[in-house]
Structure 1
Amino acid sequence: MRRATKPKNVPACSSCRKLKVRCEILDDLTQASLQNVRCHRCKTLKIQCSYESMDRSIFRTGPAKMTTSLVPTVSIPKIPAPNPAPLIRELSTVIARSSTGQTVVDMDSLPTHIWQFYRGSTGDWHYGGIFHYEDSLDWAHPLGAIQQLSDRYNASVASVVTRPRILAAATSRSASGIDRLDEILSPEQIKHLLEIFEEKYVPWLNFSLIRNETNPSNSPEPSSSSSNITFINSTSTLDLICCTIASRHLRPSVRSVVAPKLEAAAEDAVSEILFHPVLSESIESIQSLLILALWAPICGGSGSNRRDGHLLLVSAISMAKNIRLDEAPERLSALEYLGSLGHTFDEVQMADTANKARLWLSLTNADSLLCVGHGRNTYASRFRSSTSTSLFPMPTPSSPTLPTGLSEARDTRLDLFGQILDATEAGLKVPLNSLEDVPKWYNDIHEALQRLGHLERLITPLPVVSDHDTFYFRMLVILYRACRLLVLYHATFSARMLFMYAGRTLNLSIFEGIIPHNLDILMIWSKDAFHTTEANLISLLEVDVSLLGTSPDITFHIISLIVTYLVSYKFYVFNLRYKASPFTHDSVNAKCIARCIGVLNTAAYSEDHPAVRCARLIEGVQALWENREEMFKLGDAPVLRPEDRFRVTSKKPGYYKDQSTMQEAFYETVEKNLEMLYKPAGPS
């Protein structure tokens, strides 16, 4: 006799839908069984099934109006689908809403496996999916994971963006569909945008823009100064790129017309540089790629169309090496040494060499900035003086040396930021593969944190005592704390991964193998990271909002990471104590995060500015915390308990049906070696 399974048009139960697993009813659907209907999976695991509370008639009469719910007790209204557009991926239409009706977070945009974790009793997490998952974000490299999460989330809630080349071609005067700079903007507009870039964006670069002085094919007249922006060159790629980035400051009515044209022209110019690098190798081309690596035009380039700034930067660094720009710091160091011996040099030559050295240092800093936290290797080699001194005068705790002028202030930031990134890279390279590595792992992490702590003493007073670029010094402090967070995160994450892949200690209150010098170092570093994050969030609320929008795009991913870590830490404490701890200062943090969202939205120059995408993601992450009681219900029983993962011989039916034979063998091997691996650490 054939079993009467549930009709195909009946939706899966909420538990199976969360895990995206097969949901079926294998029992005969008799009048008696309908009184307590459950799907086969929920019945086998003895967990609550949403079918028990559904209208029984749906199993007899066929389809009923379906209400989707990804979070228990949270209703989800229908949202009209966007108008179809060619080559645009379908947008998610499933939005979870809180009881007040405000948007919480787009659940479909989050990684699928996030809904396969459940909480049981206090401190007890359960995982109901396979051990490895294809859509997992690589949280070993948190900035890269945050960037991917931001792209997924914003792609599902943002409006469809038309490619700028399509918009530009509609009103172009040129047959190719790409206009020149002087055909897009008037001379007054060009001059205005170049002045904006010089005032607001060049301080981030920490060098004066270098323009071609004499080039018959590129400049009809020589420029008297490398920083002179009164002369407008309609064929200059550098001027085009600067105007493209600065166009975000135009009025919306003007920007909507000229920004797509500028971006289309910039794309065309960059393509020419990349496809013909030998002909395009010049200081202007290198600077153009550096600028676009740090700031993407705001009228496109998000989601699946987002540019990889680091690829542009690698091309710029390759060109710089070809024209021996990487030797400029060494040449400057040699000239300064000879000058100290009484030799004299032409001032123009010294200034030119110094500015090229600054350009190379800016390239190396940008390379490190776009690599830390992403799992990438830097492409440029950082300059290290043979005399162990900096190229430019630096403030020290023992001397009253302070940057006196604008140029000195930027040189100070350039050098200090390079040292911060250098110490961060050293900390992120420290491995932890076994308990035997713990002493060296601890010493190397501690050394990196000490280097960062020494730099903190130098940079913390600068926003107060410097007469120039106060905002940019404040942002340097924020970037420093973010780098410190990355090192602390790497250390604690490495320890957790060691226990995840090699087994776990029987004492849940402490990782017995990781107590170097009898220090509960994981607790110490976790609190350090939390305090660093809190201080950074507060510092962010104190910066000049009118200039925050000029920050390089990576800065907003860093801000997203700061808030995400803060919320994650609160979940960690919540899981341990089964309640929000006063230690996490939830009400204070919530107000700070709310104000941070407001600051970001105020700082944005347009609706597709990176600050808006950052604010949107932060709002969704904070909403997860605010709806924590609805997300984690004891009624949603776990599929796989952590302790069962290492007890393969006593597993319950169905617990490991998704685990491979190789993984089961791995767990058995781990179980046999637990006692050997987790002996208490001896004296150091």
Structure 2
Amino acid sequence: MKRAGAPNASENPPQKRTKASQACASCRKQKSRCEILDVRPVAGAPVVIRCHRCKVLGVECSFETSDLIHFAPKAVSASTPSSDASSPGTSTTLVEPTSSYSGLGALAAAAAASSLPTPIPPPLNTPTTIPARFGIAPEDLVPNASTPVWGPGYKASRVSRVDWTAAPMLAIQEMVRCPKIDQPIDIPSAARLSDILSGAEITSLLDIFETRYSPWLGLPPARLNNTNSLFDIVRCTIASRQLPLSRRSSAAPRLQKLTEDVFVSELFNPQPSLDSIRALLILSVWTPISGTGAEARDGRLLIASAVSMAMNLQLQNESKRVIGLRAEKPQKMTEIDESTHKWRLWMSLAVVESALCVGTGRTPVSHLSPLDHDMTALSSFPEFTLLSVRDIRLGLAAKVLHVCESALQLRLQRVDNLETFFNKMNDLTYTMEGMSRLIKPLYVLTPLDTFYSQMLLLEYHACLVLIYHHALREVRTTYERDAPDTPWYSVETKAGHCISLFWGREALINAEGVLTTFLSVTDPTLFSSAPDIIFIMIGFAATWIFVSNFTLYQMAGSNLGGPSEMLQTLTIERLHQIALSPDHAATRCGHVLAALMTAWEKRKPAPRDPEMSECFIHVPYTRTNHPQVQRGPYIGTQATEATMVPDLGVAIDPLGPFPDLGGAEINWDLFMDDVFWSTFMENLNSDAGSVPVVPLG
């Protein structure tokens, strides 16, 4: 990985490290890779470098006290927080925050960076300006004047709201994140698993993990014997959520503490084992349910560390080695199997990292080669063995995420490039639709891992929602920046496609597809082992449906109709049904969506005549030659009944043209307006205190 780009030369650039000081003292001692991925700001003091490895381990870094590498703090501006864009190919960026630069401020900076015109766009640089350490509290979604949408240099009169849609998955993730308890609980220490669990419990938890958790990773079952390694401890810690509540409340906190202790010591090992890498992979996917109120680690940092360790072991080259061994030494099955095992671990690492990073603003470290993708094709589709099914699922997930990442890199630089942007984005979505021929029937065709293959379909729909969300945001930000006199939502292609409705309709259909797939599982207990990212995807999809409801009300004062609201209600009920504890991701996701539903019910306007409301299923997305139906302008939700037009509450004619809004003042922000989010956060925060932490008992 390249090191973070230096600040502008005119802003007191840091001294370069000498050749004799290429790593901090801790990394030199352990002969480990030392990388500087970000900086830790301190108000009124120089920003001191800390290497990535020491930060993840939570140990002191010699760079903190070194005089060699320092960044001089910039002048603080309350209204224009800034961020330095990294150079092309750089995976991280040094950010200099202001005193009010936290949470959503980072997202606003990301939005500003991607919205400002640039000659040659660095597609992946914008998201990487969001340091994970800042975090995003739910209340950060409420905009304020110190977090502009366009950033420094843009006209202050245009700063009307904060655009956190630049990293939507990160925003949902931070809302779902369980709040940290200021006063940590004192937990008795333990030296080994047997100090906490009986032998029967250890065996049972290892078996549960390999049966219900490993399939999510696409990896074959691992050994069940306990060696008290980090791998065994992590598996028991994560699977302990399946213990009865009384037993879990006493065992889970001690297991998490043991995991933290062993984790730190194991990471100092200059030659990590495959089991250690797999342990880090597990910790990045599942947050332990312990009830301690401890701050959860950033899964993206954990998976980046695991990928870095795997690259040190050259796992990224295993596909080439396997193919070579099969061609030259087919008789050496042991060697081939060992290399194939390493390749599967590399595939799982890459797929998980992409899933955790997509839509959050972080660039994955890992990259799959064409040979990696070719390896998945070696598992013949009709041969449904356990390994072949998981190989197929890994390969399909990798392709879906690759296309999704490619779509999120596309930028609409100028309004003149709309046609090209529209065609390229549609080409990628058509590629996704082509892969659906393999994804949709997979869980029906195979008797193995049926539930996990069905969840691949959920991830597929979620990625499509993210793609359409990004496409709409690019059109909105570009037109609002470069052509403010042209309503972005009415922009059409030369073929007559109204882009906002064309892509908005597809986003809505796929958002409903996420919830439908989630609700179609007949045994909801299977979701007790679901990774946290699954609930983030569900939360994002449900939010998009709320958005669609709001937008259609703004457009025509009509109900969305169809299954949307029922899908949302059932989703909230199921999330609470499958939740294992107050700090389970399912619980938090259900809480956020319930608060969003409450706020929306209070905010949405009632139709003038409920009997006139129609199901808004056929969303128009192209102009036709039909004569335009004259409609009065839609009046905002605060208008009195006397000022409402007679047609209010009637859906737009599916075969008619785009409605003439007559210059009405309408907020067309596809992620709702500031007043809505303020109402939402009031509901969310007022209920936050009612979610207790699991007692130690």
TM-score by length of 1: 0.64
Pick aligned residue for 1:600 from 561, 571, 575? 575
Judge conservation of contact 1:179–1:261 (CA < 8 Å) in 2: no
Partner of 1:546: 525
AA at the equivalent of 1:542: S
Hey, what's the Cα distance between the residues in 2 that align with 1:300 and 1:642? 50
Hey, what's the Cα distance between the residues in 2 that align with 1:183 and 1:266? 13
Pick aligned residue for 2:374 from 389, 393, 401? 389
2:549 matches 1:570: yes
What CA deviation, in whole Å up to 9, does each residue of 1:606-662 have, x standing for no partner? 221110001001111112221114895348xxxxx99899xxxxxxxxxxxxxxxxx
Give how far 1:337 is off.
3.5
Cα gap change, 1:413/1:426 in structure 2, threshold over 3 Å: closer, same or farther?
Answer: same
Pick aligned residue for 2:214 from 197, 202, 217? 202
Give how far 1:301 is off.
7.9
Give how far 1:500 is off.
2.0
Judge conservation of contact 2:512–2:567 (CA < 8 Å) in 1: no
Give how far 1:467 is off.
1.0
The count of aligned residue pairs is 470
Partner of 1:585: 561
Hey, what's the Cα distance between the residues in 2 that align with 1:248 and 1:309? 19
The within-5 A match list for 1:4-23 is none
AA at the equivalent of 2:395: D
Pick aligned residue for 1:494 from 474, 490, 495? 474
Partner of 1:270: 263
What CA deviation, in whole Å up to 9, does each residue of 1:526-559 have, x standing for no partner? 1111111112211110123111121111111111
Match of 1:113, SS?
Answer: coil
Cα gap change, 1:461/1:108 in structure 2, threshold over 3 Å: closer, same or farther?
Answer: closer
Q: Sequence identity, in percent?
A: 29
AA at the equivalent of 1:240: I
2:349 matches 1:363: yes
Pick aligned residue for 1:316 from 295, 301, 306? 306
Give how far 1:593 is off.
1.4
2:279 matches 1:288: yes
AA at the equivalent of 2:505: K
Partner of 2:320: 330
AA at the equivalent of 2:501: M
Judge conservation of contact 2:358–2:405 (CA < 8 Å) in 1: yes
Give how far 1:442 is off.
1.8
Give how far 1:443 is off.
2.5
Consecutive unaligned residues of structure 2, counting only runs of 5 or more, are 1-136, 147-155, 606-635, 641-662, 668-697
Hey, what's the Cα distance between the residues in 1 that align with 2:160 and 2:213? 41
Hey, what's the Cα distance between the residues in 2 that align with 1:322 and 1:355? 17
Partner of 2:10: none
Give how far 1:111 is off.
2.6
AA at the equivalent of 2:385: G
Hey, what's the Cα distance between the residues in 2 that align with 1:428 and 1:365? 16
Match of 1:200, SS?
Answer: helix
Judge conservation of contact 1:292–1:309 (CA < 8 Å) in 2: yes
Give how far 1:383 is off.
2.3
Cα gap change, 1:508/1:379 in structure 2, threshold over 3 Å: closer, same or farther?
Answer: closer
Cα gap change, 1:633/1:289 in structure 2, threshold over 3 Å: closer, same or farther?
Answer: same
Give how far 1:438 is off.
1.8
Cα gap change, 1:557/1:193 in structure 2, threshold over 3 Å: closer, same or farther?
Answer: same
Give how far 1:354 is off.
1.0
Pick aligned residue for 1:168 from 161, 179, 187? 187
Match of 1:336, SS?
Answer: helix
Judge conservation of contact 2:138–2:175 (CA < 8 Å) in 1: no
Runs of 4+ in structure 1 deviating by more than 4 angstroms, as ranges, are 129-134, 159-162, 506-509, 629-632, 641-645
Partner of 1:181: 193
Give how far 1:454 is off.
1.0
Hey, what's the Cα distance between the residues in 2 that align with 1:253 and 1:270? 26
Pick aligned residue for 1:633 from 618, 635, 638? 638
AA at the equivalent of 2:475: A
Partner of 1:350: 336
Judge conservation of contact 2:141–2:164 (CA < 8 Å) in 1: no
Hey, what's the Cα distance between the residues in 2 that align with 1:288 and 1:628? 46
Hey, what's the Cα distance between the residues in 2 that align with 1:620 and 1:187? 43
AA at the equivalent of 1:145: A
The within-5 A match list for 1:514-533 is 514-533=492-511
What CA deviation, in whole Å up to 9, does each residue of 1:67-118 have, x standing for no partner? xxxxxxxxxxxxxxxxxxxxxxxxxxxxxxxxxxxxxxxx9836333999xx
Cα gap change, 1:389/1:318 in structure 2, threshold over 3 Å: closer, same or farther?
Answer: closer
Pick aligned residue for 2:590 from 600, 615, 624? 615
2:422 matches 1:442: yes
What CA deviation, in whole Å up to 9, does each residue of 1:243-297 have, x standing for no partner? 00000000010000010000001111222233x1415x11111001000000011
What CA deviation, in whole Å up to 9, does each residue of 1:303-323 have, x standing for no partner? x92310111111111111111
Cα gap change, 1:542/1:507 in structure 2, threshold over 3 Å: closer, same or farther?
Answer: closer
Consecutive unaligned residues of structure 1, counting only runs of 5 or more, are 1-106, 117-128, 170-176, 210-226, 396-400, 636-640, 646-684
CA RMSD of aligned residues (A): 3.0
Judge conservation of contact 1:168–1:178 (CA < 8 Å) in 2: no
Judge conservation of contact 1:333–1:391 (CA < 8 Å) in 2: no
What CA deviation, in whole Å up to 9, does each residue of 1:204-254 have, x standing for no partner? 111136xxxxxxxxxxxxxxxxx331x3213x1100000000000000100
AA at the equivalent of 1:381: H
Hey, what's the Cα distance between the residues in 2 that align with 1:509 and 1:347? 59
AA at the equivalent of 1:202: S
Cα gap change, 1:643/1:357 in structure 2, threshold over 3 Å: closer, same or farther?
Answer: same
Cα gap change, 1:380/1:110 in structure 2, threshold over 3 Å: closer, same or farther?
Answer: closer
AA at the equivalent of 1:633: Q
Give how far 1:336 is off.
3.0
Q: Which has the higher contact order (CA 8 A, sep 6+)?
A: 1
Match of 1:278, SS?
Answer: coil
Judge conservation of contact 2:205–2:239 (CA < 8 Å) in 1: yes
Hey, what's the Cα distance between the residues in 1 that align with 2:386 and 2:254? 34
Pick aligned residue for 1:148 from 155, 174, 178? 174
2:223 matches 1:228: yes
Give how far 1:202 is off.
0.6
**Range with greater deviation from structure 2 (588-597 or 478-487):** 588-597
Hey, what's the Cα distance between the residues in 2 that align with 1:644 and 1:446? 28
Cα gap change, 1:362/1:508 in structure 2, threshold over 3 Å: closer, same or farther?
Answer: closer
AA at the equivalent of 1:150: V
Hey, what's the Cα distance between the residues in 2 that align with 1:300 and 1:329? 41
Match of 1:433, SS?
Answer: coil
Give how far 1:507 is off.
6.0
Give how far 1:347 is off.
2.0
Hey, what's the Cα distance between the residues in 1 that align with 2:235 and 2:367? 27
The within-5 A match list for 1:46-61 is none
AA at the equivalent of 2:213: Y
Hey, what's the Cα distance between the residues in 2 that align with 1:205 and 1:108? 30
